[in-house]
A and B are shown apart, each in its own frame.
Chain A
């Protein structure tokens, strides 16, 4: 801004005339907003990678905080079993219902178990598990770390010579990495149970055919693809959640906004990463 353009708005401010705000300020503000809009994703990604780097450095540096890791694993993993199972059951059930109904038109309903199993193992289990963990545990992590930030508890850790990344972030990120794949396995099992229940007991499919077709189509590679995704999602969820909480500012409202950003960013990250990882694993589509 030049000194002339600075002087102009001051005159206008003094008059307080509505609709007479000088042109440079509006253009400036528009340019500013546009600039921010374009720039902010890069700033976000930069901040995330900074935390990622610090987390990797602190993860290999002693002391190794096993107790905190177990506590985080309990919170993220054990605490999410019920929600993940519930989701899995209904997803499996409704998918089974839809597929039996849809496949019946061309007499392929015997493939229901196979198709549900494949979709579940490769896509639905990791993605839905990750989304559930993000909305339950991820948001809670952001809120907890955010509250610690705005009430100076993170500063207190630093003044007591305890590295807050090592103390707070590393256990949560490792716990996410380990527990989300396990939860995904739970999702696979419970989801197939739901599909079996609806397909066989309600829709009258033959149990032997249901299982046999599923075993024929779904193999270990499919499950492994799901678990690789789950590990990547779990790591990402915890990292994004921690980073948002860690850098929260502006009191309780700021913590709320950080939690909001954490859930939104995680949803986007999960879906975008899902495509990328799938493309890499099956070797096409990139």
Chain B
């Protein structure tokens, strides 16, 4: 941390109010816009992310899910609108102030994005080595603890390329969680995985959410997974929020065409029925 503060006369970190931290809504996205040249991708999105819940963002290809994710974790800057995270507007943060706040989000990329020049252990230790003054021993304990919880401790000295897709995802989750992030974002965590691995990744998302009490944001194509594990669903279409709510609410409010899209994606009627009963 010291090195981030070092010598830069920047504005101090924006403060999160206790009220904001007690709010069931952790992230409030308001009227978010993003264009590339003349191509408007996000056309004024507004919706909430609930604290400690599994929040899915779904929608057809090209609807802007990935672009939304990139604004949310500030890989890019939105053109206008607000991203209130515990009361702090992330849309306007920049430079070292933004870097200092980044600990809030842990990101699990679609291809896991583990550094292939490092071992699994070094990958998970990386955020600690970069940003904390923890001793080697403390780092070792923390990393092995995370790897153990996620069931990949045995792979600590392997290189990421030696692991299966599902195991890579577990390591990526361990890395995202190692600095006590509060929000975990999964970008298409099950795309390209076989049905069995898909199920273990679904379980991983649920388990991780409960075990670490984090807020999960899952960008997904996989409608079956969505209706199995989501607490909240936001449905994007052409850069707009088409519907947002619990799975049961969603099934009630959706237009027939959207329902057809969901059914076409392989969600069995059973799951839909069950979710509308339980919702």
Chain A contact residues, CB within 8 Å of chain B: 62-63, 147-148, 151-153, 155-156, 158-162
- Asked if B127 contacts A152 (CB within 8 A), the reply is no
The complex places the Cα of A159 from the Cα of B6 at a distance, in Å, of 20
> Contact at B130–A162, with CB atoms within 8 Å?
yes
Task: Scan B52-80; emit 1 where CB is below 8 A from any A CB, else 0.
Answer: 00000000000000000000010100000
Q: A-contacting residues of B (Cβ < 8 Å)?
A: 3-4, 6-7, 73, 75, 99-100, 102-103, 105, 107, 109-111, 113-116, 126-127, 130-131
**Chain A residues within 8 Å of B73, by CB:** 159
Cα–Cα, bound, A151→B100 (Å): 25
Question: With A153-B113, A155-B113 known to touch, is A62 a contact of B6 (CB < 8 Å)?
Answer: yes
Which residues from B are CB-within-8-Å of A153?
113-116
What 8 A-B pairs have minimum CB-CB distances, sorted nearest first?
A152-B113, A161-B99, A156-B113, A152-B109, A161-B102, A159-B107, A153-B113, A151-B111
Q: Are B126 and A160 in contact (CB under 8 A)?
A: yes
Q: Residue on B with the closest CB to A157?
A: B115
- Could you show 16 A-B contacts with beta carbons less than 8 Å apart? A62-B7, A63-B3, A151-B111, A151-B113, A152-B109, A152-B111, A153-B113, A155-B75, A155-B109, A155-B113, A156-B107, A159-B102, A160-B127, A161-B99, A161-B130, A162-B130
Chain A residue nearest in CB terms to B73: A159
A62 and B6 CA atoms in complex are apart in Å by 8
Given contacts A62-B3, A63-B3, A160-B131, 17 further A-B contacts (CB under 8 A): A62-B7, A152-B113, A153-B113, A153-B114, A153-B115, A155-B113, A156-B107, A156-B109, A156-B115, A159-B73, A159-B102, A159-B105, A160-B102, A160-B126, A160-B127, A160-B130, A162-B130
Q: Does B100 contact A159, Cβ atoms closer than 8 Å?
A: no
> Is the CB–CB distance between A152 and B110 below 8 Å?
yes
- Bound CA–CA A62/B8 (angstroms): 11
Max chain B C-beta neighbours (<10 A), residue from A147, A152, A153, A161? A161
Q: Residue on B with the closest CB to A150?
A: B111
Shortest Cβ distance from residue A272 to the other chain B in the assembled complex, whole angstroms = 32
**Count the A-B residue pairs with Cβ separation under 8 angstroms: how many?**
43
How near does chain B come to A79, taking the closest CB pair, in angstroms?
15
A179, B224: Cα distance in complex, Å:
55
| B100 adjacent to A161 (CB under 8 Å) | yes
Q: How far is the CA of A15 from the CA of B102 in the complex (A)?
A: 54
Chain A positions within 8 Å of B131 at CB level:
160-161
Please, how many angstroms separate the alpha-carbon atoms of A156 and B111 in the complex?
11
CA distance A181 to B99 in the complex (A): 37
A227 to chain B, nearest CB (A): 31
Name which of B3, B4, B109 has the most chain A CB atoms within 10 A of its CB.
Answer: B109
Q: Tell me the bound Cα distance from A75 to B126 in angstroms.
A: 22
Which chain A residues border B127 with CB–CB below 8 Å? 160
CB distance from B176 to the nearest CB of A (A): 9
Q: Specify the chain B residue showing the minimal Cβ separation from A154.
A: B113
Query: In the complex, A161 Cα to B4 Cα: how many Å?
Result: 9
Return chain A residues, CB-CB under 8 Å to B6. 62
Q: Cβ of A159: which chain B residues have Cβ within 8 Å of it?
A: 73, 75, 102, 105, 107
Contacting pair A161 B115 (CB below 8 A): no
Q: Quick check: A161 and B103 within 8 Å, CB to CB?
A: yes
User: Contacts of B116 on A, CB cut-off 8 Å?
Assistant: 147, 153
Q: Closest approach, in angstroms, between the C-beta of B231 and any C-beta of chain A?
A: 24
- A160 CA to B115 CA, complexed, in Å: 12
Give Cα A158–Cα B102 distance, bound, in whole angstroms.
9
CA distance A62 to B5 in the complex (A): 11
Min CB–CB distance B198 → chain A (angstroms)? 20
Which residues of the other chain, B, contact A62 by a CB distance below 8 angstroms?
3, 6-7
